[in-house]
Chain A
Amino acid sequence: MASLTAAEPLQKTPLNAVHRALGARMVDFGGWDMPVEYSGIIDEHLAVRNAVGLFDVSHMGEIEVRGPQAFDLVNTLTPNAVARLEDGQAHYSALLYPNGTFVDDILVHRMGPEHYFLCVNASNQRKDFEWIESRNHFDAEAEFASEKYAQLAIQGPRAIETLGKLTATDLDAIGYYWFERGQVLDVPAIIARTGYTGEDGFEIYVAPEEGARLWNAILEAGEEFGIKPCGLGARNTLRLEAAMSLYGHEIDDTITPYEARLGWIVKLKKGEFVGRDALVEQKEKGLTRRLGGLEMTGRGIGRDGYRVFDGDRDIGWVTSGSPGPSVGKSIALAMLSIDKGEPGTEVEVEIRGRRVGACVTPTPFYSRKK
C-alpha cells in the first residue's frame, strides 16, 4: 500500500481535523482527503433515511458569475432554461461540450438578476472554470469561488427540525430547489433546500473558517433526533438508490443527457446553447443506448465497470453498483443497449469471470414518502 512516488499533496476541506478527531476513515477522493465513513456506511445510510445525517461536502466547487450579461453566459453554457429561474431559485443542469457530452453536471442558483452561483463537482472545478472562461464572450465575470465556501449537507426527514434550531430563517417556507440567504447561528449562510440523497434536506454554504463550528453545532442540535456524521460512502449508496448521476460514472465526456436519462434538463425551446445542435441530431436519429436500473437476481454485486450481457452479446456496462441498504437488494445503474433497456428484461452481469443474473428495473430504486 505504501508508495514511493511523490504524489500531489491531497487537498483538505476546512473540516479535515474534525473528521480525523471523530475517527473517520479517510480516503483519497479525486485528490481530496475525505471521510468515507464514520460509524459504518449502512448505519449512516439508514440514519439519513430514517432521521438525519450531516455531510461535509466542502470539496464541491463554487463558481460565481456576475455582470449585466451573467444570464447570457450561464444560459449559453447550460441546457436548462435559466430564464425560468427566479431570485432564490436553483435548478439542476450541466456544462456541455459542443458534441452534447458532459463537461460536468452542476447546480445553478439565481442570486439576483446579474448574479448566478454554480455548485460544481470537486474534481471538475478547475476544468469547469476554464471552460466557462474560454467561452465568456459576454459582459460578465466568472469567479472561481471555491475557497470562499465550506459546504455542509444536512439530509433526512429530521433535517428541517435540526437546522431549524440554529436559524431564524423560516425553513418551511423554502421550497424544494429554492434557497434563502440567512444566518445559521451568527454565521451568514446560503441555505438551499437541495441534496444528493433522495431525502428532504438542506445544503448550506458558509465561510470556510466557520465550517467546524457549524458542524459541531449541527451535530449537537441533531443529537435528540439521532443525527450521524456521514461520509462519502453513504452519500454514494443514498444517491445510487435515488438514481442520481455521479460524474465519471453515469455521465462523462462521452455521454449525453439523453443517454443518461437527463433529457429533462435539456430545454431545446430556449434557443441556442452549447451542445444543442448535437442533441437535436441525437434526438432525431434516436438513441442507441440509455441508462437503466438493474437489480441483481443472482448472488453477487455488480460493481462499477462490470460488463452486462444478453447471452453472448455484450450490451453495456455497470456505471455504479452497490448493495442498496434501504431497498434490501443489490442494485446498479447501467448503460444498456436501447433494445435491452425495457424493465423486466433479464440480463447477466459478468462478476469476476462469472455470469450472474440481473433484471432491468425502473428507477429510482428508492423514493421517499412525501
Chain B
Amino acid sequence: MYPSEFKYTKEHEWVRLDGDTATVGITDHAQDQLGDVVFVELPRTGVRTQAAQSFGTVESVKAVSDVYAPLTGQITAINETLIDAPEQLNTSPHEKGWLIKIKVEDKAELDDLMSAEQYQAYIGAEKES
C-alpha cells in the first residue's frame, strides 16, 4: 500500500525522489479521509516551494484541505490532468494522482520525513486517538 521508496509527511503527503527531482502527492490515507476529490488547485511551474508550507488545495465534496510541500525547491511540473480528472487522487493517489514535481535544493530535508513503516505506524496511532 505505502511504497517503501517513498518518504511521507505528517500532513499525509508522499515524496518520490528521482535524481534531484521530487514528485509529490497525497497519500492513500489522505484521499480516504477526504472522500471524493472534486477540485485541485495548484501553483504555476517556476514557483518556489518552502518545506512545510502550503502550496495548493485539494477539495472533496465536503471539505477543503491544504497540501504542504515536503521539500524546498522550484516547481518544475504540475499534474495538468487533475484539472479535468481530479478523481485520480482517489483512484491512484500514489501514481496518476501526483500533484507537483520539485527540483530539490537540499536533499537533507528528506531526513526529516517518515519512512513507509514509520508512516503506517503514524496513521495507525492517529486512527486510535
Q: Which residues does chain B contribute within 8 Å of A355, judged by CB atoms?
A: none
Is B4 positioned at the interface, with any CB of A under 8 Å from its CB?
A: no
Stretch at the interface among B34-42, B73-81, B109-117: B34-42
A1 touches B126 (CB 8 A): yes
Size bin of chain A's contact surface: 20 to 34
Among A42, A299, A352, which residue has the most Cβ atoms of chain B within 10 A?
Answer: A42
Shortest Cβ distance from residue B75 to the other chain A in the assembled complex, whole angstroms = 19
Residues in A299-313 with C-beta less than 8 Å from chain B: 299-301, 303
A322 touches B62 (CB 8 A): yes
Task: Tell me the B residues contacting A by CB distance below 8 Å.
Answer: 33, 35-36, 38-39, 41, 57, 59-62, 64, 126, 129
B64 touches A233 (CB 8 A): no
Chain A 311-348 per-residue mask, 1 if CB under 8 angstroms from chain B, else 0: 00000000000110100000000000000000000000
Indicate whether A352 sits within 8 Å of B129 (C-beta atoms), given known contacts A233-B35, A233-B62, A322-B62: no
B35 touches A37 (CB 8 A): yes
Cα separation A42 to B57 with both chains bound (whole Å): 20
A237 touches B129 (CB 8 A): no
Is A40 positioned at the interface, with any CB of B under 8 Å from its CB?
A: yes
A40 touches B129 (CB 8 A): no
B61 touches A352 (CB 8 A): no
**Beta-carbon nearest neighbor of A300 in chain B:** B39
Is A25 positioned at the interface, with any CB of B under 8 Å from its CB?
A: yes
Q: Which residues does chain B contribute within 8 Å of A236, judged by CB atoms?
A: 62
Among B36, B38, B41, B126, which residue has the most Cβ atoms of chain A within 10 A?
Answer: B36
The one of B39, B61, B64, B126 that contacts A41, using a Cβ cutoff of 8 Å: B61
Shortest Cβ distance from residue A25 to the other chain B in the assembled complex, whole angstroms = 7
A41 touches B129 (CB 8 A): no
B64 touches A322 (CB 8 A): no
B59 touches A301 (CB 8 A): yes
Is A103 positioned at the interface, with any CB of B under 8 Å from its CB?
A: no
A42 touches B62 (CB 8 A): no
Indicate whether A40 sits within 8 Å of B38 (C-beta atoms), given known contacts A301-B59, A322-B61, A322-B62: no
Cα separation A303 to B38 with both chains bound (whole Å): 13
Q: Which residues does chain B contribute within 8 Å of A2, judged by CB atoms?
A: 126, 129
Shortest Cβ distance from residue B8 to the other chain A in the assembled complex, whole angstroms = 16
